[in-house]
Structure 1
């Protein structure tokens, strides 16, 4: 082989390798997962039998709703173990989770109580609820067992002379039907639906004791 050509071969090989590597990197970047946005869905809730009798003074209000600090982020969270979480960067909440939780809870309660109007905190000074529901969400994520989990402390404060307060701790879980982000949000919505039903039943008990 010509000596000059022999010297040129390593240079050409290095140049071609660099081009090939750059092309692979560009191809990898082009195949990055597209960002998707998600919201919690209200459940299909029929009015509970306890609310068959209309009560003009009954006006529930949701809020404040507080969430654990680890949930206060735009990305969905997946629990890998008891001490480790995975942040799903390509799966984002379409609105702040606190607001989404309150809105979905209000829609669920409207269905369970047959009352189309459920106030959201903060409400106007002239529009006070008869029953104020405060909620603190301690856990709201998907575990390594492909189940969605909700843990929450909540209380109902009456504003119209009835029993002063009821407070409880609730835990719910739901199996994921699909293991992607959409399946996770659907299962989380199920757990929120279960919490809504429990709150609606408690509201029915308190409303039955209220002076009308």
Structure 2
């Protein structure tokens, strides 16, 4: 009976020792590192743009949809090592889906330039009038190069919602110096870039021709 009791105790001790060893091993795995999260903010210092003064009275602008490249449609931050090779940061993530973030900050930036009351997220449940426009934005490329340069390549079109006709198309390449491997400065650089992009979007709005209302 004593041998059975001692054998049971020995098995329990071995099980505890094994569990401690497994826990220690897991603690040393790369997955135990903390994950850092980053946000891209609306551009600082944006105010009413000169183009805003020439926009028609009563204009309203819907922002969306936003398209981003497939390689960037993930929570992990993507950077480019050179050539076609990309690095996926396992422990450095965007705090929100990148497409949603770009739509949010683009709406905020355009609103800062032409007025909050003129901008709304698209699609929206309302009846468009002759002064209702939509900006559809495609981010063709986005990233940070090995030298730290952040860049965005974008194209967009402006559509009149009343007759569902594309009234203006535009595109642009944007770059901003950041620190290679520093995702704080990368996010800040993208914030600056999307501020410049918003100014180009507003410039496209200013070129839209509206048909006169008919009685």
User: Is this a same-fold pair by TM over 0.5?
Assistant: yes
Structure 2, unaligned stretches of length 5 or more? 1-20
After superposing the two structures, state which structure 1 stretch, 198-207 or 141-150, moved more. 198-207
Return structure 1 stretches of 4+ with deviation > 3 angstroms: 21-33, 52-56, 125-129, 160-164, 209-212
Structure 2 equivalent of residue 11 of structure 1: none
Structure 1 equivalent of residue 9 of structure 2: none
3-state SS of 1:206 partner: coil
Query: How many equivalent pairs are there?
Result: 191
Structure 2 equivalent of residue 86 of structure 1: 87
CA contact (8 A) 1:163 1:210 kept: no
The 3 A distance-change label for structure 1 pair 85 and 164 is closer
Structure 2 equivalent of residue 12 of structure 1: none
Deviations 1:135-156 (A, max 9, x none): 1111111011211010111111
Deviations 1:176-202 (A, max 9, x none): 157411111111121111111111111
| Deviation of the 1:111 alpha carbon | 0.7
Matched, 1:189 2:186: no
Structure 2 equivalent of residue 172 of structure 1: 174
Residues in 1 aligned to 2:161 and 2:63: alpha-carbon distance in whole angstroms: 13
User: Which residue, 117, 135, 138 being the options, matches 2:137?
Assistant: 135
Structure 2 equivalent of residue 57 of structure 1: 58
Deviations 1:54-89 (A, max 9, x none): 744211111111111111111110111121000011
Matched, 1:34 2:31: no
Deviations 1:114-170 (A, max 9, x none): 244421122114367711111111111101121101011111112357984111221
3-state SS of 1:52 partner: helix
